[in-house]
């Protein structure tokens, strides 16, 4: 069997197993492992899978995921998130979709201290989904909002994706972070507006609440102080140089526990529940990432991604057509596997190609980051959508994929605008 | 089913998850104390390395409890339309395939760990041997296999007694 | 895959490395692939897997043994448990160019045939230049460095501790951010990172004092598979061993000069000298590291004192070239 055929076949088998209800991470392991055995023999396959698991599970950056999830769980289980949403509801609840808008704004704020989509989705999901359910939100709208909010995780700096790109294509991390800030905030703002517009056109999706008095509104702010302190301490502490984003995860978690204990809102039972839930969500997220890495490793072994790049490069068309084809491949890659896993494989292939065509590397990075992060909410493999279901089994994966659909509009507009006016990104870099 | 396995397996998963929980809290404490020490001009050089080792314990030992709690998401878009016996058969096949996969994964980690005992590989600064951490991961996947075996027994029981699977009601 | 071919059958060799394609060891791989294909009239084709797409640092030599790839290049010196002999390259003896220390390393490996590479054929070996202090404020004296938080790795950590600096372990990818937030005030590394990692914009000063060799690289092939290659191919591989060491290290030395020019011209980075008094003290600390290495490897499979003495000899010869 030719390597290419084996690679294509493995993708088909993967999809079949997933649709036969095999947990997605398990299917990635099973197909990746079998593919490696067929392609490189059992000895090589065992060596590869073991090293992948060990490297991923022992990495400093991986422990950030449980830490940020833990912070969200403590905020959630101590009732701080409820108070935040009560307050947001008093201010925004009388708009249709007000809580959804708040969810995205909060995801954007959270993304400023978190480098990963998974952490942003899991944390904000744990807080926002119960609140939206409580206020009678449509579950597609609720799931889609949380999942799309999570895509800001690797868009708004700090960002694991940008760090990976910076290192692999030898760019400055600082420059990329600076360049990503405006696009990230712009996308975040447009997503908030989209949430409001969606609910304004179909108020049943995000029911309007009672209008609170100004007195009630300002009094409700008292309940948000704790959460604001945690966020501000983590963000400000990072920007004034007390600690790195990774340490911010630890500070955020410790701060959440400390404040919850001081305000007597964290019982021993709630603390234990926070730990248990954190570990369960982390187990799911991390197994998924490791599975995607293992499967991606097998694809690399077949050299399928390399062949793909070569055939694109050979096309006799204008540079912008090549760019669009590359973006399409990123979209497909992000659809089929973990976005970060696809990034690692594809950077060495496409970045030199686009650079040779005259595209600025910083600009290319931000465009690729925009498309990559969308991969987390595109079917069939959309990590953010899976996390939403992991948090609330009532919201099916299909519900979330449907709920995400309207949010593609601002993304497509932003990507198109940046292609037409590259200066929108490059002015900050 | 009132056997020994249905009680002992979740208990094992709970105990390993408890150890993972302690490691998680240790990671928080280590990060925060690292910052405090640095503010007083005494940074801890090995924080980075220790965090990696703690990550193994936090992540590896939480996989099993995740499976007991059915945290690993599956898509039932297609299978939900099948009749009950067909669903049970599919479920059994998929569970067996998962068990086989993770037994191979355990075997791979076993070989990887044994290899490290022979080469004497250590971490860079602390010179801690790396093989025990590989075995922690192997043990973590062992708990996943145990949880899957229990799932498989439940499927068999549902087939014999012609009742729906327990976890479908939740 | 490749390996068992005899005569003039086409041979495909796969070759893996952990760092990106643009890094100098990876550029060397590309050159090796071209050379071997050319010199065997296209009989040997090489498939490159760089940037850790297949194997990460620490797993590459085992990947070669298990047949994941035919050839793999990794950095042995930091895994002192597994590669005690190679760790001699961590000992700071004042080698200041990559070419000097690369020539020295390859000679040592060829002369001693250390048992830590049993079962492997060494395809080539080379090193980076020495590590230098690259900081936000100039370091010229003991007082300048005291209490300063610096990113460092491996054998440089105890040296910095003796200089009363505060070494911090983190990946190179995080250094830029840590510099900009003030978590660290500098780092210790070979100097191409000023350009390759864009760090020149975050620092102000480079202290012109070489510490130990920053990193070393060994490319290996499984011995049995190497032996199965046709004689003609083995001859080409053997003649490329030293050529590639020179290609990589000379290219690295050139890129260092380019990085220094870039840092000076584009970002106003200054090169500063260590004050006389401090220099004597620093030299003494570095000598202490050599004694420490001999003590640590006293019961190793090789004669530590002899190896170190031979390294000093070779280094002097090579520096004089
Ligand atoms: Na972020
Ligand atoms: Na996707």
Do B48 and C170 count as a contact with CB atoms less than 8 A apart? yes
Q: Are A323 and A418 in contact (CB under 8 A)?
A: no
Residue C9 DSSP label: -
Specify whether A129 is located in the same domain as A35. no
Specify whether A54 is located in the same domain as A64. no
Residue C225, pLDDT score: 94
Do A51 and C56 count as a contact with CB atoms less than 8 A apart? yes
For residue A421, is it within any domain? yes
Residues contacting residue A367 through CB under 8 Å, at least 6 positions apart: A327, A415, A418, A419, A425
Residue B169, pLDDT score: 35
Chain A contact for B160 (CB, 8 A cutoff) = no
Q: CA A224 to CA A80: how far, in whole Å?
A: 7
- DSSP letter string over A202-242? STTTS---PPPPHHHHHHHHGGGHHHHHHHHHHHHHHHTTS
- How many angstroms is it from A292 CA to the middle of ligand 2? 12
* CA of B3 vs chain A CAs: smallest distance (Å): 26
Q: If DSSP codes are grouped into helix, strand and coil, which group holds residue A159?
A: coil
Mean residue pLDDT across chain A: 84
Residue B73, pLDDT score: 62
The whole domain housing A113 covers 59-266+303-426
Q: Are C68 and A47 in contact (CB under 8 A)?
A: yes
Do A66 and B97 count as a contact with CB atoms less than 8 A apart? no
- Closest of A343, A286, A307 to residue C20, by C-alpha: A343
| pLDDT confidence bin for B170, thresholds 50/70/90 | very low
Q: What are phi and psi of C168, to 5 degrees?
A: -130, 135
Q: What are phi and psi of A112, to 5 degrees?
A: -75, -10
For residue A281, is it within any domain? no
Tell me which range, A65-74, A223-232, A271-280, B116-125, is most confidently predicted by mean pLDDT: A271-280
Suggest the residue from C169, C172, C181, C297 to mutate for an interface test with chain B (most B CBs closer than 10 A): C169
pLDDT per position as a tens digit, B40-85:
777 777 888 899 999 999 999 999 998 888 766 666 667 778 888 8
* CA of A46 vs chain C CAs: smallest distance (Å): 9
Mean pLDDT for the stretch of residues A35-44: 92
Chain A contact for B145 (CB, 8 A cutoff) = no
Q: If DSSP codes are grouped into helix, strand and coil, which group holds residue C274?
A: coil
Last residue of some domain: A299, A322, A350? A299
Residue A196 reports pLDDT greater than 90: yes
- Closest of C220, C191, C221 to residue C86, by C-alpha: C220
| pLDDT confidence bin for B165, thresholds 50/70/90 | low
Minimal-distance CA residue of chain B relative to C148: B41
| pLDDT confidence bin for B2, thresholds 50/70/90 | low
Specify whether A363 is located in the same domain as A347. yes
Specify whether A136 is located in the same domain as A201. yes
For residue A147, is it within any domain? yes
Specify whether A125 is located in the same domain as A232. yes
Q: CA A273 to CA A77: how far, in whole Å?
A: 8
Q: CA C99 to CA C247: how far, in whole Å?
A: 9
For residue A274, is it within any domain? no
Specify whether A49 is located in the same domain as A137. no
- Closest of C209, C216, C162, C164 to residue C188, by C-alpha: C209
Q: Are C274 and C207 in contact (CB under 8 A)?
A: yes
Mean pLDDT for the stretch of residues A13-23: 87
- Of residues A338 and C321, the one with the higher pLDDT is C321
The whole domain housing B152 covers 5-168
Specify whether A115 is located in the same domain as A232. yes
Handedness of CA A346, A348, A354, A360 (dihedral sign): positive
| Residues within 5 A (CB) of ion ligand 1 | A 111, 156, 159
Q: Strand ranges (DSSP E) for C93-248?
A: 120-127, 132-135, 149-151, 166-168, 186-189, 205-207, 216-222
Minimal-distance CA residue of chain A relative to C181: A241
Handedness of CA A10, A16, A20, A21 (dihedral sign): positive
Q: CA C155 to CA C147: how far, in whole Å?
A: 19
For residue A249, is it within any domain? yes
Specify whether A237 is located in the same domain as A140. yes
Chain A hits for C222, CB-CB cut-off 8 Å, are none
- Closest of C78, A360, C29, C268 to residue B123, by C-alpha: C78
Specify whether A63 is located in the same domain as A119. yes
For residue A205, is it within any domain? yes
SS3 assignment for chain B: CCCCHHHHHHHHHHHHHHHHHHHHHHHHHHHHHHHHHHHCCCCCCCHHHHHHHHHHHHHHCCHHHHHHCCCCCCCCCCHHHCCHHHHHHHHHHHHHHHHHHHHHHHHHHHHHHHHHHHHCCECCCCCCECHHHHHHHHHHHHHHHHHHHHHHHHHHHHHHHCCCCHHHCC
Q: Are B22 and B62 in contact (CB under 8 A)?
A: no
A241: left (phi over 0), alpha (psi -120 to 50) or beta: left
Q: Which stretch of DSSP H or E encloses residue A124?
A: helix A117-134
Q: CA B101 to CA B103: how far, in whole Å?
A: 6
Do A244 and C177 count as a contact with CB atoms less than 8 A apart? yes
Q: Is A384 exposed, middle or buried, given 0-12, 13-18 or 19+ CB atoms closer than 10 A?
A: buried
- Does C253 sit behind a cis peptide bond, omega within 30 degrees of 0 on the bond before it? no
Q: CA B21 to CA C265: how far, in whole Å?
A: 52
- Closest of C94, C92, C90 to residue C77, by C-alpha: C90
Q: CA B101 to CA A90: how far, in whole Å?
A: 51
CB pairs under 8 A between A and C: 111
List the structure tokens of A313. 């490069």
Q: CA B10 to CA C205: how far, in whole Å?
A: 58
- How many angstroms is it from C83 CA to the middle of ligand 1? 39
Q: CA A120 to CA A112: how far, in whole Å?
A: 10
Residue A348 reports pLDDT greater than 70: no
Q: Collect the ranges in chain C with pLDDT lower than 50.
A: 1-5
- Closest of C260, C197, C194, C199 to residue C19, by C-alpha: C197
For residue A145, is it within any domain? yes
Mean pLDDT for the stretch of residues A209-236: 81
Specify whether A251 is located in the same domain as A167. yes
- How many angstroms is it from A114 CA to the middle of ligand 1? 5
- For tokens 């690292």, the residue is B34
* CA of C54 vs chain A CAs: smallest distance (Å): 6
- DSSP letter string over A361-403? HHHHHHHHHHHHHHGGGSSSS-HHHHHHHHH-TTS-HHHHHHH
Give the strand pairing for C71-74 and C216-222: antiparallel
Please report, for residues A193, A261, A304, the alpha-carbon distance to residue A189 in angstroms, rounded to integers and kept in the order given: 6, 34, 38
Residues contacting residue A39 through CB under 8 Å, at least 6 positions apart: A3, A6, A298, A301, A302
How are strands ordered across the β-sheet holding C216-222? C44-49, C11-16, C71-74, C216-222, C120-127
Please report, for residues A276, C87, C159, the alpha-carbon distance to residue C145 in angstroms, rounded to integers and kept in the order given: 45, 26, 12
Facing B105 at nearest CB: one of A29, A70, A396: A29
Q: Are C129 and C99 in contact (CB under 8 A)?
A: no
For residue A125, is it within any domain? yes
Do C81 and B124 count as a contact with CB atoms less than 8 A apart? no
Minimal-distance CA residue of chain B relative to C156: B125
- How many angstroms is it from A385 CA to the middle of ligand 2? 9
Specify whether A12 is located in the same domain as A71. no
Residue A131, pLDDT score: 81
- Closest of B30, B125, B13, B126 to residue B64, by C-alpha: B13
pLDDT per position as a tens digit, A116-166:
787 788 878 887 898 888 889 999 999 999 999 999 988 987 777 787 777
Mean pLDDT for the stretch of residues A173-199: 90
| pLDDT confidence bin for A114, thresholds 50/70/90 | low
Residue B58, pLDDT score: 96
ipTM: 0.83
Chain C contact for A348 (CB, 8 A cutoff) = yes
Mean residue pLDDT across chain B: 87
Q: If DSSP codes are grouped into helix, strand and coil, which group holds residue C213?
A: strand
| pLDDT confidence bin for B3, thresholds 50/70/90 | confident
Number of other residues whose CB lies within 10 A of the CB of residue C238: 11
Do A23 and B98 count as a contact with CB atoms less than 8 A apart? yes
List the structure tokens of C212. 């130990």
Q: CA A276 to CA C214: how far, in whole Å?
A: 43
pLDDT-wise least confident of A265-274, A356-365, A405-414? A356-365
Q: Which chains are adjacent to chain A, needing at least 3 Cβ pairs under 8 Å? A: B, C
Overall domain count for chain B: 1
Q: CA C6 to CA C36: how far, in whole Å?
A: 16
Question: Number of helices and strands (H, E) in chain A?
Answer: 22, 0
Mean pLDDT for the stretch of residues A186-194: 96
Chain B contact for A398 (CB, 8 A cutoff) = yes
Q: Which chains are adjacent to chain C, needing at least 3 Cβ pairs under 8 Å? A: A, B
Residue C267, pLDDT score: 94
- How many angstroms is it from B24 CA to the middle of ligand 1? 22
Suggest the residue from B35, B124, B130, B134 to mutate for an interface test with chain C (most C CBs closer than 10 A): B124
Residue C4, pLDDT score: 47
Q: CA A34 to CA C116: how far, in whole Å?
A: 32
Do A44 and C54 count as a contact with CB atoms less than 8 A apart? no
- For tokens 């102080």, the residue is A225
- Closest of A85, A93, A156, A84 to residue A119, by C-alpha: A156
Do C81 and B46 count as a contact with CB atoms less than 8 A apart? no
Specify whether A131 is located in the same domain as A251. yes
Facing C181 at nearest CB: one of A41, A163, A241: A241
- Of residues A167 and A68, the one with the higher pLDDT is A68
- Closest of C245, C202, C204, C288 to residue C109, by C-alpha: C245
Overall domain count for chain A: 2
């Amino acid at each position: 069997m030719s390597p290419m055929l084996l690679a294509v076949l493995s993708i088909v088998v993967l999809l079949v197993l997933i649709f036969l209800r095999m947990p997605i991470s398990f299917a990635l392991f099973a197909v990746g492992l079998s593919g490696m055995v067929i392609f490189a023999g059992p000895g090589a396959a065992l060596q590869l899978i073991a090293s992948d698991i060990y490297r991923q599970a022992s990495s400093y950056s991986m422990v950030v995921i449980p830490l940020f999830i833990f912070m969200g769980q403590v905020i959630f289980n101590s009732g701080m998130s409820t108070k935040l949403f009560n307050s947001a509801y008093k201010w925004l609840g009388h708009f249709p979709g007000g809580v959804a808008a708040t969810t995205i704004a909060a995801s954007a704020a959270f993304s400023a201290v978190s480098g990963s989509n998974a952490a942003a989705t899991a944390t904000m999901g744990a807080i926002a989904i119960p609140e939206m359910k409580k206020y009678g939100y449509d579950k597609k709208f609720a799931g889609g909002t949380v999942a799309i909010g999570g895509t800001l995780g690797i868009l708004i700096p700090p960002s694991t994706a940008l760090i990976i790109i910076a290192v692999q294509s030898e760019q400055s991390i600082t420059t990329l972070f600076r360049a990503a800030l405006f696009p990230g905030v712009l996308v975040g703002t447009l997503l908030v507006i989209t949430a409001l517009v969606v609910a304004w056109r179909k108020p049943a999706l995000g029911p309007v609440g009672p209008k609170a008095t100004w007195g009630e509104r300002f009094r409700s702010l008292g309940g948000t102080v704790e959460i604001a302190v945690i966020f501000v301490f983590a963000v400000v502490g990072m920007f004034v140089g007390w600690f790195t984003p990774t340490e911010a995860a630890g500070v955020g978690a410790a701060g959440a526990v400390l404040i919850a204990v001081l305000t007597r809102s964290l019982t021993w039972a709630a603390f234990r529940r926070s730990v248990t839930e954190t570990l369960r969500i982390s187990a799911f997220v991390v197994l998924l990432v490791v599975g995607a890495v293992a499967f991606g490793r097998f694809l690399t072994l077949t050299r399928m991604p390399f062949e793909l790049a070569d055939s694109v490069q050979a096309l006799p068309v204008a540079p912008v057509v090549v760019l669009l084809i590359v973006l399409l491949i990123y979209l497909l890659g992000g659809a089929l596997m973990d976005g970060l896993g696809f990034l690692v494989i594809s950077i060495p292939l496409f970045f030199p190609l686009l650079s040779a065509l005259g595209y600025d590397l910083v600009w290319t990075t931000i465009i690729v980051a925009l498309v990559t992060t969308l991969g987390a909410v595109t079917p069939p493999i959309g990590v953010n959508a899976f996390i939403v279901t992991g948090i609330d089994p009532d919201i099916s994966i299909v519900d979330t994929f449907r709920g995400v659909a309207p949010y593609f509009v601002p993304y497509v507009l932003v990507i198109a605008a940046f292609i037409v006016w590259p200066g929108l990104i490059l002015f900050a870099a | 089913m009132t056997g020994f396995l249905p009680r002992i397996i979740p208990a094992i998963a709970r105990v390993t998850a408890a150890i993972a929980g302690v490691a998680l809290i240790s990671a928080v404490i280590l990060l925060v104390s690292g910052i405090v020490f640095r503010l007083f001009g005494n940074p801890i050089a090995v924080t980075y390395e220790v965090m990696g080792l703690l990550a193994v314990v936090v992540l590896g030992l939480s996989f099993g409890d995740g499976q007991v709690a059915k945290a690993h998401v599956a898509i039932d878009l297609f299978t939900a339309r099948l009749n009950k016996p067909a669903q049970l058969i599919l479920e059994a096949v998929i569970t067996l395939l998962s068990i086989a996969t993770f037994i191979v994964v355990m075997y791979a980690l076993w070989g990887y760990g044994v290899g490290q005992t022979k080469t004497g590989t250590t971490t860079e600064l602390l010179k801690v041997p790396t093989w025990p951490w590989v075995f922690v991961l192997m043990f973590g996947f062992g708990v996943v296999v145990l949880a899957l075996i229990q799932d498989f027994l439940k499927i068999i029981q549902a087939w014999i007694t012609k009742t729906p699977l327990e976890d479908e009601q939740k | 895959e490749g390996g068992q071919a005899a005569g003039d059958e086409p041979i495909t060799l796969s070759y893996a490395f952990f760092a990106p394609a643009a890094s100098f060891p990876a550029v060397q791989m590309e050159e090796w692939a071209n050379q071997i294909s050319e010199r065997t009239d296209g009989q040997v084709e090489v498939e490159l897997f760089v940037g850790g797409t297949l194997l990460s640092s620490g797993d590459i030599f085992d990947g070669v043994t298990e047949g994941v790839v035919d050839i793999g290049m990794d950095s042995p010196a930091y895994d002192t448990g597994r590669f005690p002999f190679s760790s001699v390259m961590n000992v700071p003896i004042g080698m200041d160019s990559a070419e000097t220390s690369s020539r020295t390393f390859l000679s040592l490996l060829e002369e001693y045939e250390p048992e830590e590479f049993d079962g492997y054929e060494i395809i080539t070996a080379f090193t980076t230049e020495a590590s230098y202090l690259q900081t936000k404020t100039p370091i010229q004296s003991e007082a300048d460095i005291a209490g300063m938080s610096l990113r460092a790795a491996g054998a440089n950590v105890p040296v910095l501790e003796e200089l009363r600096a505060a070494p911090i372990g983190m990946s190179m990818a995080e250094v830029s951010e840590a510099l900009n937030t003030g978590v660290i005030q500098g780092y210790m590394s070979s100097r191409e990172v000023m350009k390759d990692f864009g760090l020149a914009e975050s620092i102000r000063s480079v202290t012109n004092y070489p510490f130990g060799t920053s990193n070393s690289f060994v490319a290996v092939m499984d011995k049995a598979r190497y032996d199965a290659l046709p004689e003609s191919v083995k001859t080409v591989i053997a003649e490329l061993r030293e050529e590639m060491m020179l290609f990589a290290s000379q290219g690295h030395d050139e890129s260092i000069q380019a990085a220094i020019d870039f840092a000076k011209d584009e970002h106003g980075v200054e090169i500063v000298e260590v004050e006389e008094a401090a220099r004597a003290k620093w030299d003494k600390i570095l000598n202490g590291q050599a004694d420490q290495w001999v003590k640590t490897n006293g019961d190793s499979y090789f004669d530590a004192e002899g190896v170190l003495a031979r390294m000093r000899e070779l280094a002097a010869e090579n520096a004089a070239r």
